[in-house]
Amino acid sequence: MEKSAISVTQLNQYLKTVLEADLNLRNIWVQGEISNLTIHGSGHIYLRLKDENGIVSAVMFRSNAAKLRFRPENGMKILAKGSVSVFEKTGAYQLYITEMKQDGEGDLYAALEQLKKQLAAAGIFDASHKKSIPSMPERIGVITSPTGAAVRDIIQITGRRYPLAEIVVYPAIVQGDQAPGSLINGIEYFEQFEKVDVIIIGRGGGSIEDLWGFNSPDLALAIYNCNTPVISAVGHETDFTICDFVADLRAPTPSGAAELVVPDQAELLRRIRQDQKHLLSALLRKMQHSRDLLERYAKARIMTDPHAFTDKPFMMLDHLTERLNRNILQQSREQRNTVATLIAKLDALSPLKVMQRGFSLVENENGKVVRSVEQLTLNEKIALRLPDGEATCTVKDIKKGNRYGKRNEV
């Protein structure tokens, strides 16, 4: 019995062979809820699938995980396709997943909603970043398939509505795995080499798989960072892609983009004619107003009476002259009053006033006023001035003292 024993490795290898040989365990779909999710740095995805009564380990290798349209999360219900085998090192059986999609609705729709939430949280869809579309672009860049109906519709409608615009087409791949890179190259081409006023990026209608290239996050960043305004025109009016949300303007169809990007020449001509009428009407009103002013000025007195130029200045001169005379008379009266007041003050201080009260003025031979007997000498000639004349006297006697005090004889 001991000789017939097998090793653990042999047992695990045998179980692996048995499980892998069972056709019922190959390419099966398993429904469950994700738990214990680990997205390894190598790109492999490790998880457990569970339901109400059981759990099974599972792994999805990098080559298959790279094809996922959405990012798995714990608690997400999925459908996983794969085969059951044994991991020899631990002896545990697990599901080796090759495909995965969200349970309930298509995985592409789930991936689209998930990507929308991520980019919206990053602010890429914010209206504050959107650029205005020029009203009359001279050059229009179109990124689409060169053989599809979309490019023909854009060229035809633009040529009919606004033939002045030049259309530059960048032939791009609009479906499949190579579509995002081709569309990004188109944006870079118009940014670096072929300057245009606005860019239309899009294609005709199709399934969500056909339009999936326009849901690339790399394409969304390219549109977000583009300096030229971008119009998204992908599919039909009911189709929505990430490109629609990040673009500066979304058109329901490629034909709708052509109608949005250029004005209608018929409408422009109608507006020009209307502006011409308004301008002509305003010009006629201005001419009539000028004519009325001319007639009114022609009838004015200034145009018929030469004195109309001088009457008013003369009246102003008379008025100023009258004011000047009044001012001169007023100042003259004020000055006369001032002089009279000063004269009265001087007259009150005049020696003559004193002499009229009985006093006289004594002057020596030199004409100097004698103020004291000390200035007199005997036999000196002096002049005695009185109010009504003067007299020449000789000093015979000198007495010191005043009228009321003691007199001293010299």
> Considering the entire predicted model, what is its pTM?
0.50
Do residues 28 and 85 lie in contact, with contact meaning Cβ atoms separated by under 8 Å? no
Question: How does pLDDT run along the chain (410 residues), one tens digit per residue?
Answer: 566 788 888 887 888 888 877 888 888 999 888 888 999 988 999 999 988 888 899 999 999 998 887 788 887 888 899 999 888 888 888 999 999 887 755 566 777 888 888 889 889 889 889 999 998 999 999 999 998 888 999 999 999 999 988 999 999 999 888 999 999 999 999 999 889 999 999 998 887 778 888 998 999 999 999 999 999 999 888 778 999 999 999 998 999 999 999 988 888 888 889 999 999 999 999 999 999 888 887 777 766 777 766 777 878 888 899 999 999 999 999 999 999 898 888 877 776 666 666 677 888 888 888 888 888 888 888 888 887 888 889 888 888 875 544 444 43
CATH class label, 8-104: mainly beta
Residue 392, both tokens: 């020449």
Domain range list for the chain: 8-104, 137-263, 353-409
In residues, how long is the chain? 410
* CB-count exposure of residue 211 (10 Å: 0-12, 13-18, 19+): buried
Give the single-character DSSP code of 24.
Answer: G
Residue 290, both tokens: 């000028």
Question: What pLDDT score does 409 carry?
Answer: 43
Give the single-character DSSP code of 28.
Answer: E
CATH topology of domain 137-263: Rossmann fold (3.40.50)
Cα 376 to chain centroid, rounded: 107
∠ CA 71-119-32, rounded to 5°:
20
Q: Choose among 266, 245, 188, 252: nearest CA to 222.
A: 188
